[in-house]
Amino acid sequence: MRAYAQDLGAAIIRQWRSEVVDDRREFVILYIPRMALEEPFIYEDSWKPWLESVCGEEAIELIDPSAQLLDTALEGKAIIYDHLTTDGHVAVARAFVDWFGGRF
């Protein structure tokens, strides 16, 4: 079942990328961790390695806000409470701005 889900997920990502690129836009993926963020990160049963693999194979940029989320958590701020908190959203936005700003 897991292999089927991974194959289906990769096909969906390829289709989305194709539609975006055909429209002359850039396709990137913003990864949001689903696990509790602790140091060191625990990636047991995480989909991140699979996503990194798909992005690598398909030459898709992957924005990973894990470091910014961890930094925020280590400051004693709550980043997730059933969903990203305000501080969690700020950390993800910082990761995006860092990625976006590095393009110019």
Residuewise pLDDT in 10s, the chain (104 residues): 889 999 999 999 999 999 999 999 999 999 988 755 555 555 556 788 999 999 999 999 999 998 999 899 999 999 988 889 999 999 999 999 999 998 87
Q: Which domain holds residue 7?
A: 2-101
Number of domains in the chain: 1
Task: State the Cα–Cα distance between residues 33 and 49, nearest whole angstrom.
Answer: 11
Alpha helix segments (H runs only) across 27-85:
48-58, 66-74
d(CA 104, CA 36): 33
Taking the model in full, what pTM does it have?
Answer: 0.83
